[in-house]
Structures are given as C-alpha cells and as structure tokens.
C-alpha cells in the first residue's frame, strides 16, 4: 500500500463521483418532471370528474327540479291548470250567474211609484259592468290555448333534456371520460400505478448508485486522512482497491440506469402527450354541454314570462270578482232600499191624510164660532146701534164680516 496508489484511487473515486452526481442530477430532474406531469394529469382528471359530476347534477336539477317540479307540477298543473282554468273560472262563472240572477230579479220588480210610464227597478241600474266577468270568461279559451301550447312546449323541452341532454350528450361525455380519462382506462392505470412505481424504483436505483460512489469516495478520503490504525488502513485499502476495479462496471450500469430513465421518461412523456391531445375533444364537448345548459336559461325565462302574464290575468280576474261582489251587494241594497221607499211613501200619505183631517176639523170649529159671533153682533147692534155714533169705533162699529179667513191645501203624494 503506497500513497501514490491511494491518491490515484481517490482521484478516480472523485472523478466517478462527480460524473455520477451529474448523471443522477440529470436523471432525477427527468424523473421529477415526469412525476409532476403525472400528478398534473391526475389533478386534471380529478377536476374533470368533479365538473362532470356537477354537470350531471345540474342536468338532473334542470330536468327534475326546474322543469318537472317548478314548471310541470307547480306552474302548469297546479297554478294554471287547477287554480286559473278550474278554480278561478268556476268562481267567475258563479259570481256572473249570481249577478245575472240579480239583474233579472230587478227587471221583474215593477216600479209602482212611476205612474206615467211602466218601469222596473232594472231600468235604474247601469249594465255597463254587469258583463265584466263574462268578458274575462271569454278570454279563458285563449288562455287555455296558451297553456296548452306552453304545456306542449314544456313536454318537448323536458323530452329534449331527458333524451338528448341527459340520455345522449351527458352519457357520451361520461363514456368519453371513462374511456380516456377514467381510472380504469388502460393508459391511466399505467400512469397511476405502473409508471409511478417505476419512477420511484428508478429514483431509488439512482440513489443507490450515488450512495455506492459516495461510500467509496468517503472510504478513500478516510484513507487519505491517515487517521486509521495501520491494520485498519490495510484492510480498508484492500476493500477500496477491489472496489476501484469495479468502478467502470458500476459506471456502465449507472449509464444503463440513466438510459433506462431517459427511455422511461420518453415513454411516459409520449403517453402523456397522447393523453393530453385528447383533452381538446373532451373540452369541446364540455363547452357544448355547458352552452346547452345555459341555453335552457332562455327557455325557462320564456316560461317565467308567461307565468307573469297569466298571473296578471289572474289578478285582473280577481279584481273583476271583487268588483262584481261589490256590484251585487249594491244591487241587493238597491232593492232593499226600494222596498223601504214604498213604506216611506205610505208613511207620507198617511201623514197627509192626518193633516187634512186636522184642517177639516179646525175649519168646522171656526165656522161654528163665526156664526155665533155674527149672531151676537146682530143682537148687540139691534139693542145699542141707535145710540152709538159711527165714529166711536171707526170702520168696525157696523162691520159684520167674519173675523177669520182660511185657505189651506194638503199635497197629494
């Protein structure tokens, strides 16, 4: 064992170590890039799966919640079909019948207070608004037709969503995902399992090479430092000398491993390139289905618009019913008041009779008093007239006219 021998071995060890470090560094970079690409691909697939699940749920929301429940059941069946076309129509017919019945009744009541011409109570009411509900009822067939149209449109839309959107498009998208991006797709199985394991193995292999060269270099450094006992140095030198001979072979193996890494990276990158090339078709399909979902917003806005129109019609019908109720109550009050008016007329006639009787009685009593007065005047004048001058009671001494005048009338009602 001589120093120059140790030095030569040590130099050799350093040279190989430096080469190995550089080879390992390069290969590790390759592996780490490949691993990052695999991870990114997995993340992409995970997000794609997530979006697909969300699209699936959105399609089902569109079909079941918005269309079937919100429009089909609540709007068409309940609000329009039942509430407007049946309940409201029934109510309007009922009030219209009632009001017509009332008008007929008023037409049949003769106004006995008007003597010159024959009239009925019906002549005294306005009929302009008595057919207000009839007009609304006349509009109902139009509304019914609209509802039928929109129901047909609803069925078509629902059918399209169920068959085309969910049955074909979404299904195709799922199939495309499963065959190209799913976990069970052959390429992805390779990337997720085989290639990932292989990358780890290659990494370990490279680490082992690096460790061998580093260990050998460390042993050389230890020998060079001269800190070992002679016997220790001797046995270590023997090991180092033996290992030194194996360095070229190990180096060849390292370069083979590096080539494996390079080949592996090429294979993985080629596969990933191919897989990533499939993204564009999938993304285009996604764009289409998202646009389709958005297009349905417009369709549903049409339903919403019609819903508002029918709501407005319903409100105007309710207003009509309300006014008809008021009108009917007015007619009922009118008839009642007419009958009360007849009693009022009777009461006034009775009062007039009473007044006539009082006045007739009064006239009779006045006449009686007047006759007695005249008689007494005549007796007085007979006994005293010759002795009294005319001027003693001017104008009155010989006046025999009545003390009163009476002129009255009681109106005929």
Partner 1 sequence: MDPFIITAVDCNVKHEVMAMNGDGGRHPDHETTAMTFPTNVKYVFEDDEDLSVDHEDEEIGNVVVVETNANLEVTHVELISDRFKQLSWETAQDDNQELHMRVISRFEPLLEADDLPLEKLMEIYQKRNEQLNNLFNTLSTT
Partner 2 sequence: MDADNTVVYIKVTGRNREGFVEPPKFYWDLEKDQKLWSKISHFGNKKKSIDWTKLSREFETPEYFLRKRSYRLFAKHLRILEREIETKTRGLVLEQDTGDNADQNDMGDSGSDVSDDEKQAERDSVAPEGVKNLRWSKILNQRVPGDPKATDSSLSELSNLSVSKSALEEALLERLQL
Separation between Cα atoms, residue 106 and residue 114, nearest integer Å = 15
Indicate whether 366 belongs to the interface with partner 2 (CB under 8 A): no
3-state DSSP assignment of residue 111: coil
The single residue among 107, 114, 297, 319 that binds partner 1, judged by CB under 8 A, is 297
Could you tell which of partner 2, partner 1, none binds residue 57, using a CB distance below 5 to 8 A set by kind?
Answer: partner 1
The single residue among 283, 326, 363, 390 that binds partner 1, judged by CB under 8 A, is 283
Question: In this structure, what token pair is assigned to residue 148?
Answer: 């039928």
3-state DSSP assignment of residue 131: coil
Is the distance from CB of 241 to CB of 9 less than 8 angstroms?
Answer: yes
CA atoms within 13 A on the CB side of 379: 6
Nearer to partner 1, 69 or 329 (CB): 69
Residue 412, phi then psi, degrees to nearest 5: -80, 125
Is the distance from CB of 229 to CB of 281 less than 8 angstroms?
Answer: no
3-state DSSP assignment of residue 183: coil
Indicate whether 273 belongs to the interface with partner 1 (CB under 8 A): no
The single residue among 7, 40, 114, 138 that binds partner 1, judged by CB under 8 A, is 40
Is the distance from CB of 242 to CB of 219 less than 8 angstroms?
Answer: no
Classify residue 388 by its DSSP letter.
S
Residue 396, phi then psi, degrees to nearest 5: -110, -20
Question: In this structure, what token pair is assigned to residue 286?
Answer: 């996604």
The least distance separating partner 1 from the CB of residue 300, rounded to whole angstroms, comes to 6
Draw the binding track, 316-335, toward partner 1 (x: CB under 8 A; -: no contact): --------------------
The single residue among 50, 94, 124, 408 that binds partner 2, judged by CB under 8 A, is 124
Q: Kindly indicate which of the ranges 4-12, 59-67, 96-104, 323-331 contains the residues binding partner 2, using the contact rule CB under 8 A.
A: 323-331
Draw the binding track, 61-100, toward partner 1 (x: CB under 8 A; -: no contact): xx--xx--xxx--xx-------------------------
DSSP string, 320-380: HHHHHHHHHHHHHHHHHHHHHHHHHHHHHHHHHHHHHHHHHHHHHHHHHHHHHHHHHHHHH
Indicate whether 326 belongs to the interface with partner 2 (CB under 8 A): yes
Indicate whether 46 belongs to the interface with partner 1 (CB under 8 A): yes
Could you tell which of partner 1, partner 2, none binds residue 65, using a CB distance below 5 to 8 A set by kind?
Answer: partner 1
3-state DSSP assignment of residue 120: strand
Per CB under 8 A, residues contacting partner 2 are 124-126, 128-129, 315, 319, 322-323, 326-327, 330, 334
Residues that bind partner 1 (CB under 8 A): 40, 43-44, 46-51, 53-55, 57-58, 60-62, 65-66, 69-71, 74-75, 283, 286-287, 290, 293-294, 296-297, 300-301, 303-304, 307
């Amino acid at each position: 064992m001589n120093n120059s021998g140790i030095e030569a071995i040590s130099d050799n060890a350093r040279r190989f170590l430096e080469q190995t470090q550089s080879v390992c560094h390069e290969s590790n970079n390759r592996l780490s890039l490949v691993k990052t690409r695999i991870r990114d691909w997995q993340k992409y697939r995970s997000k794609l799966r997530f979006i697909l699940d969300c699209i699936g749920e959105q399609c089902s929301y569109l079909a079941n919640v918005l269309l079937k429940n919100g429009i089909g059941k609540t709007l068409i069946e309940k609000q329009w079909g039942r509430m407007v076309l049946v309940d409201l129509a029934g109510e309007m017919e009922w009030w219209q019948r009632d009001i017509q019945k009332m008008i007929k009744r008023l037409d049949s009541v003769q106004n006995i207070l008007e003597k010159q011409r024959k009239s009925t109570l019906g002549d005294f009411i306005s009929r302009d608004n008595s057919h207000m509900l009839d007009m609304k009822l006349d509009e109902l067939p139009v509304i019914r037709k609209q509802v039928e149209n929109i129901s047909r449109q609803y069925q078509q839309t629902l059918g399209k969503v169920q068959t085309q959107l969910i049955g074909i498009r979404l299904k195709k998208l799922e199939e495309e995902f499963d065959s190209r991006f799913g976990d069970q797709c052959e390429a992805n199985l390779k990337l997720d399992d085989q290639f990932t394991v292989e990358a780890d193995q290659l990494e370990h292999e490279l680490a082992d090479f690096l460790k061998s060269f580093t260990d050998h270099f460390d042993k050389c450094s230890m020998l060079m430092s001269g800190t070992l006992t002679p016997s220790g140095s001797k046995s270590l030198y023997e090991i180092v000398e033996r290992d030194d001979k194996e360095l070229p072979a190990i180096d060849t193996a390292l370069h083979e491993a590096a080539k494996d890494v390079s080949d592996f990276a090429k294979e993985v990158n080629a596969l990933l390139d191919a897989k990533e090339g499939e993204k564009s078709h999938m993304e285009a399909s996604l764009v289409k289905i998202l646009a389709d979902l958005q297009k349905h917003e417009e369709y549903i806005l049409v339903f919403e618009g019609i819903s508002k129109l029918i709501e407005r019609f319903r409100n105007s019908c309710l207003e009509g019913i309300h006014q008809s109720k008021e009108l009917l109550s007015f007619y009922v009050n009118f008839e009642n008041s007419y009958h009360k008016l007849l009693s009022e007329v009777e009461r006034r006639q009775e009062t007039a009779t009473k007044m006539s009787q009082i006045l007739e009685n009064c006239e009779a009593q006045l006449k009686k008093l007047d006759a007695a007065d005249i008689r007494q005047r005549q007796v007085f004048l007979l006994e005293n007239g010759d002795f009294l001058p005319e001027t003693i009671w001017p104008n009155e001494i010989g006046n025999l006219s009545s003390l009163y005048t009476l002129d009255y009338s009681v109106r005929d009602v």
